[in-house]
Chains A and B, each alone.
Chain A
Amino acid sequence: MLTIKEIWKQRKVLAGFIFYVVLVIYALITVFPLVWLGYTSLKTNNEVFMNPWALPGIPQLQNYIEAWKVAKMSLYMRNSVMVALVCLLFSLLIGSMAAYGIARFKTAISKYSYVYFIFGILVPVHTVLIPLYVLMSKLKLVNTIWALFSAYTAFSIPISIFILAAALSVIPNELEESGIIDGCNAFQVFFHIILPISKPTLATVAILNFLSFWNEYIFALIFTSNDAIRTLPVGLANFRGQYAVNYSTMAAGMMIAIIPSIIVYVLMQENVIEGMTAGAVKG
């Protein structure tokens, strides 16, 4: 007969096994669609329909070439990289400067502007879509890359300030004071003392902002109608209309968009997770 202790032990082993099965099943649910898409992108279009499960007979690398050239993925990729990097530079510079003015100065303007900026976290983009489109038309920015530069940067400001101001406010005063005694002006203090010690927080904000620029869809959809400046999400979504029957090329196009994200994620996993969860509070 089993003693109570042994029954307890067996139950624990069983629970552990069930837990493991749950984890494995859920992991398959998340990953298998991507794996399937990956090998579908290497099939001929006929193979896609004939036997959806099967691996490709001969890997069709020309799907990728077609997606890259004919379906203009190269163009969308270039635009996405440019938009994301330029906006990242703007948003980090402008956001960290404002966070410095807010967190390290004891003036009324610092206090009130913080509240004013934080209100922006609550604003869903759809609320401003129509007036923003009207404004962009008036400024003649519609269908130029500047519409994306300005809108993306402006919308990244509240969350950047929220995260950066919290980090900057805990920097010890002595660090700044020593800089001032050495004869630095406020800008020198900011660039040579504050920014270097805020690097970890800047990295979090950088990843959060980069991903939101890289993945952004609705502004890009509304403000651009010209392929020459369209970004990956808009280009891909339009794929559906243009390549509706050519599924293997479409799969290749999607893989081209997915692979860089996965590589960045694998290389900088902890930072990415931290940045995304920090940004999750965004409204």
Chain B
Amino acid sequence: MRNIKENWKNALVFILPALVLYTLFMFLPVLQSIAYAFMKWDGLGKMQFIGIKGFAKLLADENFHVSLRNNVYLLLSSVFGIIPIALVLAFILNQGFKGYKLFRTVFFIPNILSTVVVALIWTFIFNPQFGLLNMVLKLLGLEFFIRLWLADQKIAIFSVLVVNCWQHIGVIMIILLAGIRSIPAQLYESSSIDGASQWVKITRITIPLLWETIKVTIILAITGSMKAFDLVFVLTQGGPGHSTELMATYMYKKAFISFSYGYGSTISLTLFILSLGITLLMKRIMQREIIQY
């Protein structure tokens, strides 16, 4: 038994297929991507080493600034929009209303649809001629609020943010709900005996004990926002102009429409570093002692 389990050849036989596939199609491409980021290359001709010139160009590239800003918008709207709304819904659901399961099922539906489908549904909702949103506004007597939701440069990015919230609230709510339910009931019971109000229970017991779970959702919001692509690509193609461009859509355009493989890789490497950097930074900032009772 021990012989079998300590023989590396036996282990390798099982690991090998995954190792080959992963190395070839995932790990080596990451290394290549790092190398390409310092090159000028159109994919056909000769590669030319340009050092950090690509990054210098990126710093001066206004379209990239807009993309980065939009990614930050997405991140902020996730952290300060999705998570609080999901938290409120999770709290309410946790009260154990009739139909608890039905609401939970319904809230999760947007998460099972592909982002392409979600984006297409919202092109219908935002449609200026027959869209659901403008119809609802008319119904509520808010005609003055009607806008060209996807065609107005100033507004389009906010429409994108709304769709992003709509799509992701469900899964974040489920994660938070699981966190709330794992808090031992006797903590609430003993605080009731001490005469604590509902508000005190939420702020002194639930939120502190939920902090680890909230941290997880914040990290998810960050990584999700930095790599977002499908939603914008289908909803607005980064337009009008470049007003809804994200780093990933800009990278796609540079690489697969203008065939600047080098510059595209500079963007994607920057995306990767930013995403990793912000995640690690946030983990650092959010570190605090785990409360144990």
Q: Which A residues are closer than 8 A to B by beta carbons?
A: 16, 19-20, 22-23, 26-27, 29-34, 36-37, 40, 48-49, 52-53, 94-95, 97-98, 100-102, 104-110, 113, 116-117, 119-120, 122-135, 150-151, 153-155, 157-158, 161, 176-177, 180, 186, 190, 211, 214-218, 222, 232-234, 236-237, 239-240, 247, 250-251, 254, 257-258, 261-262, 264-266, 269, 272-273, 276-277, 280-281, 283
Provide the bound-state CA to CA distance between A259 and B19, in Å: 37
Establish whether residues A254 and B171, one from each chain, have CB atoms under 8 Å apart when the complex forms.
no
- Minimum CB–CB distance from A93 to chain B (whole Å) comes to 8
Q: List 10 A-B contacts (CB under 8 A).
A: A33-B124, A36-B132, A102-B15, A116-B22, A117-B22, A120-B22, A126-B251, A135-B25, A240-B234, A250-B120
Known A113-B19, A131-B36, A190-B14: A37·B256 in contact at CB below 8 Å: no
Establish whether residues B6 and A53, one from each chain, have CB atoms under 8 Å apart when the complex forms.
no
Establish whether residues B33 and A128, one from each chain, have CB atoms under 8 Å apart when the complex forms.
yes
Establish whether residues B89 and A131, one from each chain, have CB atoms under 8 Å apart when the complex forms.
no
Known: A52-B135, A124-B226, A133-B256. 7 other contacts (CB 8 A): A19-B92, A124-B271, A126-B247, A129-B251, A157-B18, A276-B171, A281-B220
Establish whether residues A217 and B17, one from each chain, have CB atoms under 8 Å apart when the complex forms.
no
**CB-contact partner of B18 in A97, A131, A211, A254, under 8 A:** A97
Establish whether residues A237 and B18, one from each chain, have CB atoms under 8 Å apart when the complex forms.
no
Residues of B within 8 A of A281 (CB): 216, 220
Establish whether residues B116 and A236, one from each chain, have CB atoms under 8 Å apart when the complex forms.
yes
**CB-contact partner of A132 in B6, B29, B106, B116, under 8 A:** B29
Within 8 A of A (CB), among B91-113: 92-93, 95, 97, 99, 103, 105-113
- Whether B59 sits at the interface, judged by CB under 8 Å, is no
- Whether B137 sits at the interface, judged by CB under 8 Å, is no
Residues of B within 8 A of A254 (CB): 117, 120-121
Known A125-B227, A276-B171: A97·B17 in contact at CB below 8 Å: yes
- Minimum CB–CB distance from B38 to chain A (whole Å) comes to 13
Provide the bound-state CA to CA distance between A232 and B252, in Å: 20
Establish whether residues B11 and A110, one from each chain, have CB atoms under 8 Å apart when the complex forms.
yes
Provide the bound-state CA to CA distance between A190 and B178, in Å: 33
Known A120-B22, A157-B22, A237-B120: A127·B115 in contact at CB below 8 Å: no
Establish whether residues B25 and A53, one from each chain, have CB atoms under 8 Å apart when the complex forms.
no
- Whether B290 sits at the interface, judged by CB under 8 Å, is no
Establish whether residues A37 and B30, one from each chain, have CB atoms under 8 Å apart when the complex forms.
no
**CB-contact partner of A158 in B22, B115, B223, B229, under 8 A:** B22
- Whether B87 sits at the interface, judged by CB under 8 Å, is no
Residues of A within 8 A of B121 (CB): 33-34, 37, 254
Provide the bound-state CA to CA distance between A22 and B106, in Å: 14
Residues of B within 8 A of A158 (CB): 22, 26
- Minimum CB–CB distance from A140 to chain B (whole Å) comes to 15
Establish whether residues A124 and B275, one from each chain, have CB atoms under 8 Å apart when the complex forms.
yes
Binds A, one of B48-56, B182-190, B262-270: B262-270
**CB-contact partner of A120 in B26, B171, B261, under 8 A:** B26
Establish whether residues A98 and B125, one from each chain, have CB atoms under 8 Å apart when the complex forms.
no
- Minimum CB–CB distance from B115 to chain A (whole Å) comes to 7
Establish whether residues B17 and A247, one from each chain, have CB atoms under 8 Å apart when the complex forms.
no
Residues of B within 8 A of A107 (CB): 6-8, 11
- Minimum CB–CB distance from B228 to chain A (whole Å) comes to 10
